[in-house]
Structure 1
Amino acid sequence: MTPAEIEALFTRTDGAYAFARWGRPIAPIVFGVEDSTLATVKGAIEAVVTLAGHQMAETDPELGSNLMVFFFRDWDELTGVPDLDRLIPDLAPLVARLKQADASQYRAFRFDDQGGIQACFVFLRMAGAVAKLPAETLALTQAVQMMLTWGDSAFAETSPLAVLPDTGATILRPEIAGVIAAAYDRMMPVAAADRSHALRLFARLQAPVTPPSDDANPTRH
């Protein structure tokens, strides 16, 4: 990827560059799915976290779970979730806007004092095209999107995933995997608002890396 392409991944529609990664271990919890799908979702999260060289945890000391993933069929279901309005400010107006937009997904992030991701709330309405996606594809896509604060249009035209023509397997595009790994380099900041950050990511993508083991490779599904 070119520096300009990397910069575009973290540029908002208002033109601002806004990057953040997790500043603490990720403790996920998933609502609204059967056990088989739960294992798929958590497996995808763990695979991408391992790729990044980050950590998972059973619990978060402040929130218990700092990554909450909700699967449901209608946005109105969210207003009935106990205490969710305490985690998501102005929940009712947000649900109204998402319904009006016929949205299929929404992510909300919280940030710590250093600007790193402190918590993420993922909402997936299982209707239309989203409901037809294989569980593995949906889970891996969401795992990628919650690892960093990507720009609004980062994957609007090109998915972070690809399909191998010979096997039909869904994989994480190598260039996106590279960006995630570079973003979690120990020498990189947990948050950045300067476009020079994209150049630092680019420099790390040029450096030779040791391929992850098959057990930690999220491109194998």
Structure 2
Amino acid sequence: MDHGPVARAFTHPDGTYRFARWGRPIVPVVFGVEDATLPVIKGAVEAVVALAGHRMSDRDPELGANLFVFFVRDWEELASLPDLDRLVPDLPALLERLEKEEANRYRLFRFDDAGAIRAVFLFLRMDPALAEVPAEDIALSETVQAILLWSDDAFDGKGPLASVSGKVMLRPDVAAIVRAAYDPAMPVASTDPSHALRLAARIGKRGAVASST
């Protein structure tokens, strides 16, 4: 992979380069789905974490969990969840903005002192468009977008998934970036554009691919 696409993946709309990966084991918790859907979401998280060569755990020492996934029918449902306003800054203002924009998904990242990802909150409003997407596809797409701090527009016009012979998988270029980003020799966070050169150097001609099934 050329350096250009790698740099664009972490260059934000304001022109700054900002990269971060998880610095601690990932502990997911899911709200708002039926029990039968939980293994689907867990499987997607496990697949992406395995691709990255990272780790999962049963408990985060600070928050209990650190990858929070909320499925709601309406954004107002989040306002009634106990203690969520303590975890999400300015929750009322955020919900008002999401309602106004008619958004159906939102990600909030929190970082530790080293700049590594400390926690991610994934909010998904199951509007008619999102309700038509298979649960395994949503889970895989959202997990890969939470495994790194990508640019806000990294997947505009072209999502992180691809269909190969009727099977949904991560795009090979996306999978290759994820695997390279978790190379132990790479930093957990960087704002230096030269970081993209180091990432590109670690990406081979064939990227690993994680499947949603």
With normalisation by structure 2, the TM-score equals: 0.97
C-alpha deviation, 1:32, in angstroms: 0.4
Distance 1:129 1:175, change over 3 A: same
Question: How many pairs are equivalent?
Answer: 213
Contact 2:105–2:122 (8 Å) recurs in 1: yes
What is the alpha-carbon distance in structure 1 between the residues aligned to residue 166 and residue 205 of structure 2? 30
Q: Deviations over 1:96-147 (max 9, x none)?
A: 0010000010111110010000011100000121111011110100110010
* Residue in structure 1 matched with residue 211 of structure 2 by the alignment: 219
What is the alpha-carbon distance in structure 2 between the residues aligned to residue 208 and residue 131 of structure 1? 33
What is the alpha-carbon distance in structure 2 between the residues aligned to residue 219 and residue 8 of structure 1? 24
* Residue in structure 2 matched with residue 214 of structure 1 by the alignment: none
What is the alpha-carbon distance in structure 2 between the residues aligned to residue 49 and residue 182 of structure 1? 13
Please list every run of 5 or more consecutive structure 2 residues that lacks an aligned counterpart in the other structure. Answer: none
Pairing partner for 1:204 from 202, 205, 211: 202
* Residue in structure 2 matched with residue 54 of structure 1 by the alignment: 54
* Residue in structure 1 matched with residue 28 of structure 2 by the alignment: 28
Q: Percent identity?
A: 55
State whether structure 2 residue 75 is matched by structure 1 residue 70. Answer: no
What is the alpha-carbon distance in structure 2 between the residues aligned to residue 208 and residue 67 of structure 1? 29
What is the alpha-carbon distance in structure 2 between the residues aligned to residue 220 and residue 159 of structure 1? 14
- Correspondences of 1:160-171 after superposition (within 5 Å): 160-164=160-164, 167-171=165-169
Please list every run of 5 or more consecutive structure 1 residues that lacks an aligned counterpart in the other structure. Answer: 212-216
* Residue in structure 1 matched with residue 112 of structure 2 by the alignment: 112
SS in structure 1 at match of 2:203:
helix
With normalisation by structure 1, the TM-score equals: 0.93
Contact 2:47–2:212 (8 Å) recurs in 1: no
What is the alpha-carbon distance in structure 2 between the residues aligned to residue 102 and residue 207 of structure 1? 40
Contact 2:137–2:212 (8 Å) recurs in 1: no
C-alpha deviation, 1:219, in angstroms: 2.1
Query: Please, what is the CA RMSD of the aligned residues?
Result: 1.4
